[in-house]
Amino acid sequence: MKNENLHKIKSTGLKTPDHYFESFETDFFERLHKTSSLDAIEQPGFSVPDSYFSDVEAQILNQVEDPKPTPVIPLKPKRSFYYVAGIAASFALFFSLIFNTKNTVSFDTIDTAIIEGYLYQEEYTNEDFASLFLSDEISETDFIDLSISDETLDQYFEQIDTEDLIFE
Protein backbone atom coordinates (compact mmCIF):
# COMPACT_ATOMS: atom_id res chain seq x y z
CA MET A 1 0.00 0.00 0.00
CA LYS A 2 1.36 3.39 -0.86
CA ASN A 3 2.04 5.97 1.83
CA GLU A 4 -0.32 8.50 0.31
CA ASN A 5 -3.32 6.16 0.74
CA LEU A 6 -2.72 5.53 4.46
CA HIS A 7 -4.74 8.53 5.62
CA LYS A 8 -7.85 7.28 3.72
CA ILE A 9 -8.27 4.07 5.79
CA LYS A 10 -11.40 4.29 7.93
CA SER A 11 -11.68 0.76 9.40
CA THR A 12 -9.17 -1.41 11.26
CA GLY A 13 -10.14 -4.65 9.55
CA LEU A 14 -11.10 -6.38 12.82
CA LYS A 15 -14.73 -7.21 13.61
CA THR A 16 -16.51 -8.55 16.69
CA PRO A 17 -20.05 -9.93 16.87
CA ASP A 18 -22.84 -7.53 17.79
CA HIS A 19 -23.29 -6.99 21.55
CA TYR A 20 -20.17 -9.08 22.26
CA PHE A 21 -18.75 -6.92 25.05
CA GLU A 22 -22.15 -6.43 26.69
CA SER A 23 -22.83 -10.15 27.17
CA PHE A 24 -19.26 -11.47 27.46
CA GLU A 25 -19.00 -11.31 31.25
CA THR A 26 -22.27 -13.08 31.93
CA ASP A 27 -21.58 -15.82 29.36
CA PHE A 28 -18.11 -16.40 30.78
CA PHE A 29 -19.31 -16.84 34.38
CA GLU A 30 -22.14 -19.17 33.30
CA ARG A 31 -19.72 -21.46 31.49
CA LEU A 32 -17.33 -21.33 34.43
CA HIS A 33 -19.97 -22.43 36.93
CA LYS A 34 -21.14 -25.28 34.72
CA THR A 35 -17.67 -26.84 34.19
CA SER A 36 -15.91 -25.96 37.44
CA SER A 37 -17.79 -28.24 39.72
CA LEU A 38 -15.25 -30.62 41.19
CA ASP A 39 -17.99 -33.04 42.20
CA ALA A 40 -18.50 -33.92 38.55
CA ILE A 41 -14.98 -35.43 38.33
CA GLU A 42 -15.23 -39.09 39.33
CA GLN A 43 -11.59 -40.10 38.71
CA PRO A 44 -8.62 -37.78 38.26
CA GLY A 45 -7.17 -39.99 35.50
CA PHE A 46 -3.79 -40.48 37.21
CA SER A 47 -2.82 -43.17 39.64
CA VAL A 48 0.24 -43.60 41.83
CA PRO A 49 1.40 -47.03 43.00
CA ASP A 50 1.27 -47.77 46.71
CA SER A 51 4.37 -46.68 48.70
CA TYR A 52 5.75 -44.84 45.63
CA PHE A 53 6.87 -41.74 47.50
CA SER A 54 8.58 -43.69 50.28
CA ASP A 55 10.54 -45.97 47.89
CA VAL A 56 11.41 -43.51 45.08
CA GLU A 57 14.43 -41.99 46.79
CA ALA A 58 16.09 -45.36 47.41
CA GLN A 59 15.43 -46.49 43.83
CA ILE A 60 16.98 -43.34 42.35
CA LEU A 61 20.07 -43.59 44.57
CA ASN A 62 20.55 -47.26 43.61
CA GLN A 63 20.46 -46.36 39.93
CA VAL A 64 22.81 -43.41 40.33
CA GLU A 65 25.47 -45.16 42.43
CA ASP A 66 28.51 -46.32 40.50
CA PRO A 67 29.70 -49.61 41.94
CA LYS A 68 33.27 -49.46 40.55
CA PRO A 69 35.56 -46.59 41.51
CA THR A 70 37.04 -44.42 38.77
CA PRO A 71 40.80 -44.85 38.40
CA VAL A 72 42.89 -41.81 39.26
CA ILE A 73 45.72 -41.08 36.85
CA PRO A 74 48.49 -39.12 38.58
CA LEU A 75 49.95 -36.29 36.55
CA LYS A 76 53.62 -35.45 36.59
CA PRO A 77 54.36 -32.83 39.18
CA LYS A 78 54.97 -29.35 37.82
CA ARG A 79 57.95 -28.78 40.08
CA SER A 80 60.29 -30.80 37.90
CA PHE A 81 59.15 -28.81 34.84
CA TYR A 82 59.84 -25.54 36.64
CA TYR A 83 63.32 -26.73 37.66
CA VAL A 84 64.22 -27.76 34.12
CA ALA A 85 62.78 -24.55 32.62
CA GLY A 86 64.71 -22.42 35.13
CA ILE A 87 67.97 -24.17 34.37
CA ALA A 88 67.44 -23.82 30.62
CA ALA A 89 66.61 -20.12 30.96
CA SER A 90 69.73 -19.48 33.07
CA PHE A 91 71.92 -21.23 30.47
CA ALA A 92 70.35 -19.18 27.68
CA LEU A 93 70.93 -15.96 29.61
CA PHE A 94 74.50 -16.93 30.46
CA PHE A 95 75.44 -17.72 26.83
CA SER A 96 73.72 -14.62 25.47
CA LEU A 97 75.66 -12.39 27.88
CA ILE A 98 79.02 -14.00 27.14
CA PHE A 99 78.83 -14.39 23.36
CA ASN A 100 76.95 -11.17 22.56
CA THR A 101 79.61 -8.62 23.56
CA LYS A 102 80.47 -7.47 20.03
CA ASN A 103 77.39 -5.23 19.69
CA THR A 104 78.25 -2.44 22.07
CA VAL A 105 76.40 0.83 21.77
CA SER A 106 78.39 4.02 21.52
CA PHE A 107 77.99 7.46 19.97
CA ASP A 108 79.90 6.27 16.92
CA THR A 109 77.45 3.45 16.23
CA ILE A 110 74.32 5.55 16.65
CA ASP A 111 73.06 7.16 13.46
CA THR A 112 73.12 10.97 13.46
CA ALA A 113 69.55 11.12 12.16
CA ILE A 114 68.32 9.16 15.18
CA ILE A 115 70.02 11.57 17.59
CA GLU A 116 68.63 14.59 15.72
CA GLY A 117 65.14 13.08 15.77
CA TYR A 118 65.37 12.47 19.50
CA LEU A 119 66.56 15.99 20.21
CA TYR A 120 63.84 17.42 17.97
CA GLN A 121 61.15 15.46 19.82
CA GLU A 122 62.40 16.55 23.21
CA GLU A 123 62.15 20.22 22.19
CA TYR A 124 65.36 21.49 23.74
CA THR A 125 66.00 25.22 23.59
CA ASN A 126 69.21 26.91 22.53
CA GLU A 127 69.98 27.69 26.16
CA ASP A 128 69.76 23.98 27.01
CA PHE A 129 72.26 23.15 24.28
CA ALA A 130 74.56 25.98 25.36
CA SER A 131 74.58 24.71 28.94
CA LEU A 132 75.96 21.36 27.71
CA PHE A 133 79.17 22.94 26.40
CA LEU A 134 81.81 24.39 28.62
CA SER A 135 83.59 27.54 27.51
CA ASP A 136 86.94 25.71 27.74
CA GLU A 137 85.84 23.17 25.11
CA ILE A 138 84.72 25.74 22.54
CA SER A 139 87.21 28.02 20.84
CA GLU A 140 86.92 30.56 18.04
CA THR A 141 89.23 28.55 15.82
CA ASP A 142 86.59 25.82 15.59
CA PHE A 143 84.44 28.19 13.55
CA ILE A 144 87.09 30.06 11.54
CA ASP A 145 87.81 27.36 8.96
CA LEU A 146 84.14 26.67 8.47
CA SER A 147 83.10 27.04 4.83
CA ILE A 148 79.40 27.17 4.02
CA SER A 149 78.24 27.42 0.43
CA ASP A 150 75.89 30.17 -0.73
CA GLU A 151 73.26 27.62 -1.73
CA THR A 152 73.20 26.19 1.78
CA LEU A 153 72.79 29.66 3.27
CA ASP A 154 70.00 30.50 0.81
CA GLN A 155 68.15 27.32 1.69
CA TYR A 156 68.56 28.04 5.38
CA PHE A 157 67.20 31.59 5.09
CA GLU A 158 64.26 30.40 2.99
CA GLN A 159 63.27 27.83 5.63
CA ILE A 160 63.68 30.00 8.70
CA ASP A 161 61.04 32.49 9.77
CA THR A 162 62.06 36.12 10.04
CA GLU A 163 60.62 36.26 13.53
CA ASP A 164 63.24 33.74 14.67
CA LEU A 165 66.02 36.14 13.59
CA ILE A 166 64.83 38.90 15.91
CA PHE A 167 66.70 38.81 19.21
CA GLU A 168 65.22 40.19 22.38
Mapping DSSP to helix (H, G, I), strand (E, B) and coil, where does residue 72 land? coil
Q: Is the pLDDT of residue 35 over 80?
A: no
The pair phi, psi for residue 74, each rounded to 5°, is -75, 135
The residues near 137 (Cβ < 8 Å, ≥ 6 apart) are: none
How confident is the model at residue 115, as a pLDDT? Answer: 77
Mean pLDDT (whole number) for 134-152: 74
Cα distances (Å, whole numbers) of residue 48 to 12, 53, 57, 154: 53, 9, 15, 110
How confident is the model at residue 73, as a pLDDT? Answer: 79
CA–CA gap between residue 3 and residue 26 (Å, rounded): 43
How confident is the model at residue 46, as a pLDDT? Answer: 81
* 3-12, 13-22, 74-83, 152-161: segment of lowest average pLDDT: 3-12
CA–CA gap between residue 142 and residue 133 (Å, rounded): 13
